[in-house]
Amino acid sequence: MTSVKRPVYLDYHSTTPCDPRVVEAMLPCFTETFGNSSSRGHVFGRVAEELVEDARRRIAGLLGAQASEIIFTGGATESNNLAVTGAACARREAGDGNHVVSCVTEHKSVICPLERLEDEGFEVTMLPVDERGRIDLDVLSASLTENTILVTLMFASNEIGNIHPIAEVARRAHEVGAWVHTDAVQAIGKVPVNVNDLDVDMLSLSAHKFYGPKGIGALYRRESPRRVKLKPCIIGGGHERGVRSGTHNVPGIVGLATAFELAVQEREEESRRVAALRDRLESQLIEEIEGLVVNGDHEHRLPNNLSVSIPYVDGEALLLSLDDVAVSSGSACKSETAGTSHVIKALGREEDDGRGTIRFGLGRWTTEEEIDFAVGRVSETVNHLRALSTL
């Protein structure tokens, strides 16, 4: 076997290394074109502003949007908060209603704002999922009323890789006049993402999930035919058409646009490659580990995701023992919270079964040798922990 550089990184869902081509595009922004894009009175500011607006146009083109529909944020968590809270509050103030629909398997950056909205008097419906993490579209339709102002549903799950039927969700939601937001953070670079094909009103993305820098994201906000208005979450300065104040992160914005372009250009070939690696990983783990269960929808899922539950093993103990393979038990944003993931619980798993869940995220630099090495280390560690376990 070819020597494998350790530790092996298989946690591309939590973050990705910045592509050297992205770094190269960003570097001049730190020392040469370093101006404040709001300082239009001199050439440094005007050059920075043009970099921002050029990136905005490029990102819009990749999504099938207009440049004026792109709002830069500090990342997906901010984008999700702005979309969910900003849209719900704006629509309630306009007298449109106060009912919001979402799903129990959403990311915490959607669930927590929804909980706050409930505290503020909004009615929130959380759709259940079946044992594979799929929503029932008829249950969605039954939940929609003339009081529904927003439906927010993740495009692709960061934990189990499920891809939801967003276009059909949008069609049904729009029949009652609701706006639709989707967290597309995990979908960029893995599956096609076009706001017109999906007919969504808002869409969140984050650069560090597709080989761009951390701390920069964007929110698509539709202007036509449904003009989406948002109540700002960050005020003071009037940047981003008054929706999101704060000095532009010019290097990050340039990096976001460059990473997005590369992700789209290389998506088809890269998705085929990592899907083959994912299938190799899955088949070998099933063969090596007795009782292993693959989580999620086997048909409609991301090509780079594999979530498995391993009975009679504590997931945290497994992660701590795998010091040369970087995997996770679920979302990086809940890593400080002990216990079974809310996503795995939603599939109907018992607490003991869910605790043995680990997530593999494959990426641009994953190799066959790394997959084979990971299988060996995981199976070896599982056997060792089971021998010590009293379960």
Dihedral of the CA atoms 150, 222, 15, 266 (nearest 10)? 130
* Residue of 174, 166, 216 lying closest to 191 (CA atoms): 166
* Residue of 53, 73, 54, 57 lying closest to 65 (CA atoms): 57
**Bridge partners of residue 307, in order along the sequence:** 359
Q: Where are the beta strands (DSSP E) in 279-346?
A: 293-294, 305-309, 325-326
Number of neighbouring beta carbons within 10 Å of residue 338: 9
Three-state SS at 164: coil
- Tokens 């500090």 locate to 74
Q: Across the beta sheet with 148-152, what order do the strands follow?
A: 70-73, 217-221, 202-206, 179-183, 148-152, 99-103, 123-127
Rg, the chain, Cα only = 22
Whether 18 is catalytic is no
Number of neighbouring beta carbons within 10 Å of residue 106: 25
Q: How far apart are CA 132 and CA 280, in angstroms?
A: 21
- Tokens 């084979």 locate to 372
Number of neighbouring beta carbons within 10 Å of residue 275: 17
Q: What is the bridge-based pairing of β-strands 217-221 and 202-206? A: antiparallel
- Tokens 């074109």 locate to 33
- Vertex 143 angle, CA 141 and 148, to 5°: 100
Check residue 204 and give left, alpha or beta (phi > 0: left; psi -120 to 50: alpha).
beta
From the list 18, 103, 112, 333, the catalytic residue is 333
Query: Which residues are known catalytic residues?
Result: 333
